[in-house]
Amino acid sequence: MFYDYCESGSWTEQTFRENSSDFDQIRLRQRVAVDMTGRSTASQMIGQDVAMPVALAPVGSTGMNSADGEIKAARAAEAFGVPFTLSTMSVCSVEAVAEATTKPFWFQLYVMRDKDFTRRMIERAKAAGCSALVLTLDLQILGQRHKDLKNGLSVPPKPTLRNLVDLSTKWGWIAGMAKTRNRTFGNIVGHIDEVSDLSSLSIWAAESFDPKLDWEDVKEIAKLWGGPLILKGILDAEDAKMALQVGADAIVVSNHGGRQLDGALSSIRMLPQIMDAVGDKIEVHLDSGIRSGQDVLKALALGAKGTYIGRAFIYGLGAMGQEGVTKALEVIHKELDVSMALCGRRTIDELGRDILLVPEDFEGRWQQN
């Protein structure tokens, strides 16, 4: 059920598939006889030092892929030197992750109808020492994901016959879950009066996420937070300009990993126009579809200052816990480093469009009125 929750997009999954396959259309230019000694992938995202510009994206229910999953992923990110982003819909609470780590992490906010909850959540993220707020704008209404409907996704899973049969083959998971008290949405349960138990994600989202959220609300949240602000879910140049106006520090070009508006273009295909519109005025990050260090390289070469991985680290976590997240980061790091060198570049600063071969019609000719 939780693997299906990750490995899915909304409706036909076209956007989910194209997020990755569009990266494959871009090719790299092989260069030779360039001094490749003294290479480094070190860089900065919103002014914070990173070992490579690859953050862990906010992923709801991470703690269902492995017991205490958020803590394991945050620790792996901290040791590697990349940012970890904790979702509002995490299993381990913001306080629990802060207690288990030694460096600040980022907090991702979903805006709820309950204004008081949103305000308190921001205060809790501040109190936990979070060093950036990632405000997600593309999920005030949930895109329909067929696999979740079929599985009756819930956190924790309901003891239906189907789930019990499935669980009977997952003893490692059960043993891990038996040892932890983190088994439901830690940031929510106990913090909203009427919510003592959360079952179906779609029911919760339909009832609790604020579908009214607009740019005025974004300004208000920026004020309440008062720190580094990253707006996530920007896929259109017009919205990127709005993000600029509200004073965000960065935007994440993202379609939520193809989980929301099926039929939207992939993030990597939309990146060039967004760079043209705001790239010299605001830091642009990208996620959705990154599965390798070469994908990271392509996004950086097209102008992104940072990238995020979602599924790529979640599968490492599900397979091998904290070690698996470290392994995923190592795989991506090595591919980025070696591919960069084979393109004749030694540092992230040296990356540019000139290392790429981009099909002439990559951005596509779409009628836009």
| Binding piece for ligand FMN, criterion CB under 6 A, among 54-62, 206-214, 278-286, 351-359 | 54-62
Coil vs helix vs strand at 185: coil
Q: Is 136 in the site for ligand FMN (CB under 6 A)?
A: yes
When the beta carbons of 154 and 288 are compared against ligand FMN, the nearer one is 288
The 239-278 site mask, x for binding ligand FMN (CB under 6 A), equals: ---------------x-xx-x-------------------
Q: What's the rounded Cα separation, in Å, for the pair 264 and 255?
A: 8
Work out whether strand 229-234 and strand 132-136 pair parallel, antiparallel, or are unpaired. Answer: parallel
Q: Where are the alpha helices (DSSP H) in the chain?
A: 2-6, 14-25, 62-65, 69-80, 94-100, 115-127, 146-151, 161-167, 171-179, 201-208, 215-225, 237-245, 267-278, 293-301, 311-342
Cβ–Cβ under 8 Å, residues 56 and 334: no
Q: Which stretch binds ligand FMN (CB under 6 A): 36-44, 141-149, 274-282, 288-296?
A: 288-296
Binds ligand FMN by CB under 6 A, chosen from 98, 201, 213, 290: 290
Nearer to ligand FMN among residue 84 and residue 242 (C-beta): 84
Whether 146 is catalytic is no
Which of residues 41 and 136 has its CB atom nearest to ligand FMN in the complex? 136
Cβ nearer to ligand FMN, comparing 141 with 357: 141
Q: Which residues pair with 28 in a beta bridge?
A: 356
List the catalytic residue out of 146, 191, 256, 333: 256
Binding mask 73-112 toward ligand FMN (x if CB under 6 A, else -) reads --------------x-x------------------x----
| Secondary structure letter of residue 349 according to DSSP | G
The residues, any chain, with a CB within 8 Å of residue 60's CB and separated by 6 or more, are 87, 88, 89, 90, 201
Whole-Å CA distances, 82 to 50, 106, 350: 5, 11, 20
- Check: CB of residue 146 under 8 Å from CB of residue 263: no
Among 13, 148, 249, 287, interactor with ligand FMN by CB under 6 A: 287
Closer residue to ligand FMN, CB minimum distance, 108 or 140: 108
157 interacts with ligand FMN by CB under 6 A: no
Q: Which residues are catalytic?
A: 256
Contacts with ligand FMN, residue ranges (CB under 6 A): 5-6, 19, 57-60, 87, 89, 108, 136, 232, 254, 256-257, 259, 287-290, 309-312
